[in-house]
Amino acid sequence: MLVDGSTRRALQRLSRLAADASAHAWADEENSVALRQAAAKARQVALENLPAYLEQLETSASGNGVQVHWADGAQEANRLIIEIQQASAAPEAVRNHSQLLEEISLDRAAKANNIRLIRLHPGDQILELAGSRSSHPVWPTAHLRIDEISTATQRRWRVPITYDPDILASTIRMPLRRSLLRSYTAIIGLHFAVADTGDLVCLDNDGHNASLVSFSRHLICLLSLEQVVATTSDLHHLVRAYAHSAWGRPLPAYVTQVRQPTPPGIDGPREIHLIIMDNKRSHMFAEGYGEILRCIGCGACLNVCPIYPLIGGEGYGESPYSGPRGAALNPLLLRPDLANQQPYLSTACSACKPVCPVDIDLPRLLHEQRHRLAPSHASWQERTLFWIWRRLLKRPTLFRLGMRVANRLNRITHRGQGTKSD
């Protein structure tokens, strides 16, 4: 599961730089404690009143001319997206950088239905060229060396090898611009949606979301139900908290907000679809793990986790969610056999708790996940030994005696093995 040396060094460097940038941004914030509290409260208020706010969002968005759809799971969300895309009679669509779209495996569904889906984000395009996966929710290509990126572009497009970042960036962006200009459908995974106004919100650092919205004529937005925000005031707190933790700056470089379809003659989509997806979120609430749904996807917990740089994003299986957040979320999101080991990817250092901008107690959630999963992992012999050990701990005299007996048995066993080998 451990990544190779160069990947490990790249991820360690990313973690250090991103964590330092975030720490400096929060230190420069005049009312950092108040901002954290406001962001955490905004998330908690939305989750505690989720059905009411989702109903309000549907009413507000529909009143703005947005067509609202509901999806129970990933398969239904994909079906809705494919049907809307096919109705537009366009052979291709462009999409943004979004873990939500990765969660439902939209690229695979589009390919199966003969739809060409183009990733507009340069980082996603690099991953596709290199045949790699995202390593971080905010910095997806941080694990790749520049020579790997250059080799990938040379192999796909037969361009000269170069290690100049500006030339590489221009080479990658050129075909993306052509795709953007000729595509009429954009598919975006949202960061937030505001219940009282119906605003659909995306945050990014390079402006690709704004380009998608401006050039598209058909806009398909995917929202997981916990991403709803009560008011624009709450949105303001969450956007600022996200920027501090994700990019180490007071505000995002780009905040893209869409409220309603645009009339002819004005840039923007003529038709907007909003798909609100559950995909086991209701089950997480029922199981008592609703706190993990407060997450805003800033990646701060990954930047301080000692395990994440050692195993990278691929260490968390098929899920796009990695780090402490992924370790707590994936056993509830994926099939049990795919992620039940992930809560054990922790040193119990608790470094992720103080950096979370919305005050999620990830160490507690990981501990509860391990406690929930332990009976299914341990054999009856292991359970018996732990039962004896727990009771011996309460009786120091018996504990010391038990340790002496175990040590003597261990020596006898090793001596017997040595005799057999001789």
| pLDDT at 378 > cutoff 60 | no
Q: Does residue 259 share a domain with residue 385? A: no
Give me the CATH number covering residue 91.
3.40.50.10420
Poorest-pLDDT segment among 11-25, 96-110, 173-187, 351-365? 173-187
CB 185 within 8 A of CB 90: yes
Please give the full DSSP string across 325-383, using - where no structure is assigned.
Answer: HHHHHHHHHS-HHHHTTGGG---S--THHHH-TT---HHHHHHHHHHHHHHHHS-HHHH
State both tokens at 1. 């599961």
Q: How far apart are CA 351 and CA 332, in angstroms?
A: 23
Q: Are residues 304 and 352 in contact, defined by beta-carbon separation less than 8 angstroms?
A: yes
Same domain, 142 and 287: no
Mean pLDDT of 94-110: 96
Same domain for 342 and 389, yes or no, is no
Tokens of 97: 């950088």
Do 18 and 38 belong together in one domain? yes
pLDDT of residue 255: 97
Residues 271 and 307 in one domain: no
- Token readout for 212 is 């998608």
Q: Please give, one letter per residue, the 3-state secondary structure of 108-141.
A: HHHHHCCCEEEECCHHHHHHHHHCCCCCCCCCCC
Structural domain containing residue 309: 283-377
Is the pLDDT at 283 greater than 90, yes or no? yes
Same structural domain, 157 and 293:
no
What pLDDT does residue 379 have? 63
CA separation, residue 194 to residues 67, 190, 214, 308 (Å): 16, 11, 20, 33
Q: Are both 387 and 357 inside the same structural domain?
A: no
Structure tokens at 396: 């120091």
pLDDT in tens, 115-142: 999 999 999 999 999 999 898 999 999 8
Assign 422 a pLDDT band (cuts: 50, 70, 90): very low
Q: For residue 120, give the nearest of 66, 182, 167 by alpha carbon.
A: 182
The pLDDT-based confidence of 407 (bands split at 50, 70, 90) is: confident
Q: What is the largest CA-CA distance in the chain?
A: 89
Helices (H), 30-105: 32-48, 50-63, 74-87, 99-103
Both 278 and 288 in one domain: the answer is no
Same domain, 239 and 183: yes
- Rounded to whole angstroms, the Cα distance separating 153 from 203 reads 27
Q: Comparing C-alpha atoms, which of 351, 299, 246, 235 is closest to residue 26? A: 246
- Domain boundary at 282, 299, 322, which? 282
d(CA 320, CA 132): 12
Closest C-alpha among 343, 351, 320 to residue 135? 320
- Phi and psi of 170, rounded to 5°? -65, -40
- Residue 421 pLDDT: 47
Instruction: Round to whole Å and give the CA distance between 106 and 198.
Output: 24
pLDDT tens by residue, 311-321: 998 889 889 99
Q: Are residues 301 and 246 in the same domain?
A: no
How much is the average pLDDT of 384-399? 76
Task: Enter the tokens of residue 158.
Answer: 């037969």
pLDDT at 2: 67
158-206 per-position pLDDT tens digit: 889 999 989 998 999 999 998 898 889 999 999 999 999 999 999 999 9
Domain count, the chain: 3
Is 58 found in the same domain as 19? yes
3-state secondary structure of 69: strand
> DSSP for 201-270?
EEEESSSHHHHHHHH-SEEEEEEEGGGEES-HHHHHHHHHHHHHHHTSSSS-SEEEEE-SPPPTTSSS-S
Is 420's pLDDT higher than 60?
no
Output Rg (C-alpha) for the chain, integer angstroms. Answer: 24
**C-alpha distances in angstroms, 233 versus 237, 247, 304, 363?**
7, 21, 29, 30
* Residue 295: alpha-carbon gap to chain centroid: 9
Is residue 33 packed enough to be buried (19+ CB in 10 Å), middle (13-18) or exposed (0-12)? exposed
The answer to whether the Cα torsion of 82, 88, 89, 93 is positive or negative is negative
- Could you tell me if 46 and 237 are in contact, meaning their C-beta atoms sit under 8 angstroms apart? no
Among 282, 316, 332, identify where a domain stops: 282
pLDDT tens-digit map of 2-52: 678 888 999 999 999 999 999 999 999 999 999 999 999 999 999 999 999
Looking at residues 77-86, what average pLDDT do you find? Answer: 96
Summary mean pLDDT of the chain: 91
Q: What is the mean pLDDT of residues 94-112?
A: 96
Q: Which of 241, 263, 282 is the last residue of a domain?
A: 282
Do 220 and 239 belong together in one domain? yes
